[in-house]
Structure 1
Amino acid sequence: MRKLVFLDLDDTLFQSQRKCPPDGALHPVARLRDGSAHSFMTGKQQAFWEWLAADATLVPTTARDLDALRRVDLPFESWSILVYGGVLLDPSGAPEPEWLERMRGVSKDARGDLLDLLERAQTSIQANDLAARVRLVGEFELPFYFVAKYRDGRAADLARLDAEVIEPWLAAQGDAYRVHRNDNNLAVIPRGVGKEHAVRHLIERFTDSGEEWLTIGIGDSLIDGAFIAACDYCITPRDTQLFAATFGRPLL
């Protein structure tokens, strides 16, 4: 039986240097746009990667866009799931037509809302001199989600932006959007965009070929739980957001 692994990247397989343990060798695996090393594997993470890569088809399942994925120095050779599932690329790097058309409709429906949130956030940042940056993340000229991050260690500025702008905006949208918050990253994502949707679509595509596949989902964040749950087996690293909310809870 063949193995199909859906693998989140940041904070699952590697992380920024400030999140790495102080002891032990680190292996740079992801770069900033200027080429400098930004994210690193520990020895255990490198061993985990080598174990997976030796005997499985690996599908990066990430919030990264295509440019950011290209700055990850790992040899992914199969399909790729990007921007929280907004984009599904085949092994040649081309978008899967059926999925692209489906997500084009989702993006079109959400574009006006996301641009409105972006403008409101930018206005607040400028008016209140907040150390935060905001942008829309997408691909193929299609916006898929809004993201905000704080700068210069000023986490309170992102908290203020969230309380004064993002939360009231979300309340007015009903249940049309969900929020992912992990460390300094806050993302607002339309319900129609999700790693789990793309994972289920790709599992169906693989199993329709007639082969039998064992599927494994690996991720660190609460929002990863949905795509992991679509797989036969679920893995999360210790001491992560998802671990704390599940295995890390005290027994009743």
Structure 2
Amino acid sequence: MAAERDSCVGAKSLRRFVFVDLDDTLFQTRRKCPKEPNLQPAAFLADGSAHSFMTARQRSLWALLGGQATLIPTTARNQGAFERIDLPFTSWRILDYGGIILDADGVPEPEWIARTAAGAQGCIDSLRELLDQAEALIARERLAIRVRIIEDFGLPLYLVAKYRDGQEADLDRLQRELITPWVEAGAQRLHRNENNLAVIPAHLGKEFAVRYLIEHLRGEWGDIFTIGVGDSLIDAPFMAECDYAIIPNGTQLSASTLATFSPAP
């Protein structure tokens, strides 16, 4: 039995890759942080001020995973927002809900960006119409909401809306009166996690990009081992593409999965 254990432990390890969401997984805004000392700034606003922070547990997760595997950020952030993150990612990165895949040098993967460009061409008119209707409702009802189309590498990708000044009810109203009916009538997805609401065209999805990149990595390395890490319901499909999944406690995805098994107090 001991010989079998030694043989197993000594076997050649597979190349390891971790596809990891960023916001609310590796770091979060100060408002969402627990009350603990020594929070580490991890993401910054365009003016250079610290916006998001890592807790001691998140730093431990980074050290654990980063010391054993190649970490691949898998995020909704576009290139500009990603570049304001102070974490040493050195390999591939997946941005814009899977719309953009960059190599280690920051160059878009050519086949993937061509696919995204074709999808963007087919949905831009719909996104612009939704933006116009949202801006009209916001102005008419004086809602405290900022809404815009996120672009990257010259491509219009998805629409995002966020409430301002703590006016969550305003975003609830926009979602109820305009966004939800719009999404239900077309081939799009709605992602809502607290103050962030996104309308994502059907051709975008972190899971599509992760699946594509896993196949690419298998072509380069042969058999590989993968882990998916994420906090939101929108992350679950890309995590399901991986061999294992890690879900931070106290998050949207945890509440819909693991927390359902917690015993009543």
Query: Which range, TM-score by smaller chain?
Result: over 0.9
Q: Alpha-carbon deviation of 1:53?
A: 1.2
Conserved? CA contact 2:19–2:229, under 8 Å: yes
1:185 aligns with 2:184: no
| Partners of 1:57 and 1:212 in 2: CA distance | 15
1:157 aligns with 2:170: yes
Match of 1:128 among 136, 141, 163: 141
- Aligned partner of 2:245 in structure 1 is 234
- Aligned partner of 1:87 in structure 2 is 100
Q: Alpha-carbon deviation of 1:44?
A: 0.9
Q: How many residues align?
A: 250
Conserved? CA contact 1:86–1:138, under 8 Å: no
Gaps of 5+ in 2: 1-13
- Aligned partner of 1:27 in structure 2 is 40
User: Which stretches of structure 1, 4 residues or longer, exceed 6 Å deviation after superposition?
Assistant: none
Match of 1:223 among 230, 234, 237: 234
Q: TM-score, normalised by structure 1?
A: 0.97
1:197 aligns with 2:208: yes
Aligned-residue CA RMSD in angstroms?
A: 1.2
Q: TM-score, normalised by structure 2?
A: 0.92
- Aligned partner of 2:150 in structure 1 is 137
- Aligned partner of 2:255 in structure 1 is 244
| Partners of 1:143 and 1:170 in 2: CA distance | 17
Match of 1:118 among 118, 131, 134: 131
Deviations 1:112-141 (A, max 9, x none): 111110110011111111100001112111
Gaps of 5+ in 1: none
Q: Alpha-carbon deviation of 1:172?
A: 2.7
- Aligned partner of 1:15 in structure 2 is 28
Q: Give % identity.
A: 54
The residue type equivalent to 1:194 in the other structure is G
| Partners of 2:184 and 2:224 in 1: CA distance | 41
Conserved? CA contact 1:118–1:135, under 8 Å: yes
Conserved? CA contact 2:180–2:190, under 8 Å: no
Question: 1:213/1:39 Cα in 2 relative to 1: closer, same or farther (>3 Å)?
Answer: same
| Partners of 1:66 and 1:138 in 2: CA distance | 9
Q: Alpha-carbon deviation of 1:250?
A: 3.6
Conserved? CA contact 1:59–1:81, under 8 Å: yes
